[in-house]
Amino acid sequence: MSDSEPDLELLELLRQHIAGKPQVAAEPDTGVLESAEYVYNNSIDVALDMRSCKNAARAIYSQMQTKSYSPATWAAHELHPHPSKGDKPEDVVAFIFTMDLLNFCFWSERGEEERFSIEYKGRRWTGYWSLVAALQRALEEDPHFWQNEEELTLSTLKHVFRSATSEEMPLLAARLSCLREAGQILYEKFSCHPLHLVTSSNNSAARLVNTLASNFSCFNDTHSPPSFPRKKPIRLLKRAQILVADLWACFEGQGPYGKFYDIDKITMFADYRIPQMLNQLGCIQYSPPLETAVQLKRDIPSGSNWEIQLRACSIWCVELIRREILRENPGARVNAILIDFFLYDTIKEMENEGRERAPHHRTRSIWY
């Protein structure tokens, strides 16, 4: 290099010195875990029992090992879509998006024979599985049932979710609203298909969760209860997170639609079944007034102090269980998603066998 030629490396160093260090883009984060810890630290109606959490962590991991629990467990269910079953990947993504768009509020006060259920493939399906069965049935009858906004009316939805009993699917009008909103936003921002929504995340689970929450009001599961005053709302984001988790589980963490480099940022999915299971394990305990409300199956309003404590403390409880599992088993391939799936399956087994010791809390909500 001659004396007349500039030293480009030196010039760049001088620019950085004058302008300050180059800014590195922060990694996306959902804020859910931070919200959960904040609520836990300020909770007066829900408490955690640390010894029970440690015991639960040991038992949960042992049973997960025995049952070979993994993302493949999700795809193994006969109702879930999967490329190995001949489903096209783009159709799988669309199915999971639609499924988790409507994945809320299935509980009933009626008995098993009288509650809302779907008849499909010679069986009656209830709860979450009634949704999946109804969607599979609808796709067999009309693959385009949800794509035409003019045809997607409340009467159409009543036909899609027609029950084998006299009880109608809860919150049907709210589900219709979610479908219509999602269709409009997909059309305006994501080239009419959930596939483009997923790929816009650049394989970041947290970024996809945030994209869902910021673009779709029906995924924006955030709250500002009066007992938890702060500038930022409480972020729980159950259905946005479970959509990401279902993609990850379905594609077993691989490929353009299932691989997320930060999948462990996803927390458990704050609903009404996991708090029930954690309470049965002795991990979470309630104040006497809340305990009475749960036992008597009284309505607990969505977004209320009690409900936010139930959900947020459950998130934090599962996080502590996850940490304990990893502390005792370094390198274990376990995250909050798999723990949630396991706890949900376990409480449903207990329900079917009549081994529930306490009811779940009652909240009618589109958030879970």
From first to last of the 368 residues of the chain, give the pLDDT tens digit.
555 555 555 556 666 666 665 555 689 999 999 999 999 999 999 999 999 999 999 999 999 999 998 999 998 999 999 999 999 999 999 999 999 999 999 999 999 899 999 999 999 999 999 999 999 999 999 877 666 667 789 999 999 999 999 999 999 999 999 999 999 999 999 999 999 999 999 999 999 999 999 999 999 999 999 888 888 999 999 999 999 999 999 999 999 999 999 999 999 999 999 999 999 999 999 999 999 999 999 999 999 999 999 999 999 999 999 999 999 999 999 999 999 999 999 999 998 888 988 999 999 999 99
Neighbours of 287 (CB within 10 A): 15
Q: Does residue 63 lie in a domain region?
A: yes
Calculate the alpha carbon distances from 318 to 138, 225, 321 in Å. 35, 22, 5
Q: Which amino acid is located at 251 in the chain? A: F
Give, in order, the Cα–Cα distances in Å from 170 to each of 127, 304, 328.
11, 21, 42
**Count of structural domains, the chain:** 1
Does a structural domain hold residue 157? Answer: no
User: What is the DSSP pairing of strand 234-235 with strand 222-223?
Assistant: antiparallel
Does residue 227 fall inside a structural domain? yes
The residues pairing with 222 across neighbouring beta strands, listed in sequence order, are 235
Strand partners, 344: none
Does residue 160 form part of some domain? no
H helix or E strand, kind and range, residue 197: helix 194-199
Secondary structure (3-state) at 352: helix
Q: How many CA atoms lie within 13 A of 24 on its CB side?
A: 2
> What single string gives the DSSP state of each residue in 87-110?
--HHHHHHHHHHHHHS------SS
Q: What is the CA radius of gyration of the chain?
A: 23
Give the H or E element holding residue 159. helix 154-160
Q: Looking at residue 152, what is its pLDDT?
A: 85
pLDDT of residue 10: 59
Picking from 234, 217, 214, the residue whose alpha carbon sits closest to that of residue 225 is 234
DSSP 326: H
pLDDT value of residue 352: 85
Assess contact for 335 and 67: CB atoms under 8 A. no
pLDDT, position 142: 82
Give a yes or no: residue 283 inside a domain.
yes
- Which three-class secondary structure state does DSSP give residue 323? helix
Distance CA 177, CA 183 (A): 10
What is the DSSP annotation of 210-235? HHHHHH-GGG--EE--TTS--SSPEE
In this prediction, residue 19 carries a pLDDT of 63
Position 65 in a domain: yes
CB-CB contact of 285 with 52 (8 Å): no
What is residue 16's predicted lDDT score, i.e. its pLDDT? 63
Total count of residues recorded for the chain? 368
Q: Which domain holds residue 264?
A: 26-77+223-353
pLDDT at 25: 67
Record the tokens describing residue 267, joined without a space: 């927390």
In three-state secondary structure terms, 47 is strand
Residue 132 forms part of a structural domain = no
Q: Residue 187: how many CB atoms within 10 A of its CB?
A: 12
Cβ(101)–Cβ(182) below 8 Å: yes
pLDDT at 18: 65
Determine the pLDDT at residue 63: 96
Known catalytic residues?
271
User: What's the token pair of residue 367?
Assistant: 């958030």
Residue 73 lies in a domain: yes
